[in-house]
Amino acid sequence: MLWNSALVAIGGFFGAIARFGVSNWIKQKYPSSFPIATLLVNLVGSFLLGYMIGKGWNASWNLLFGTGFMGAFTTFSTFKLENVTLYLNKQWKLLILYLLASYMLGILLAFLGMKAAGM
């Protein structure tokens, strides 16, 4: 049990650092009122998690990379907050685009990740 917690913590540490770095880089390179950084991070995460599942990794690798790294790299809470912000600012087109792109592309990329892994 302690080992499993350590795997999740280690993966989470590196996932959070990776998300912070990637998100900041995207925001600097592509400044916009559209939450492109969160969208791209979550889409990459969907593909990678699908790939990992498709590879059928053992429980330890799933804890380290799936639960730990990918759990911290991707973000559901920021995604929801950005949707609420777009709603409150009455940016309807961006809100609909963000929702559709996140859900539709996220599911598609998870499926493609599984296929790329040979599942």
- Which segments are annotated as binding site for Na(+)? 71, 74
Q: Which residues are annotated as a binding site?
A: 71, 74
| Torsion, Cα of 49, 46, 89, 16 (10° steps) | 30
Two tokens, residue 116:
């790329």
Q: Which of 61, 63, 67 is nearest to 1 (CA)?
A: 63
Helix (H) or strand (E) holding 23: helix 2-29
Integer Cα distance of 46 and 95 in angstroms? 20
Distances (CA, A) of 25 to 36, 78, 91: 11, 17, 24
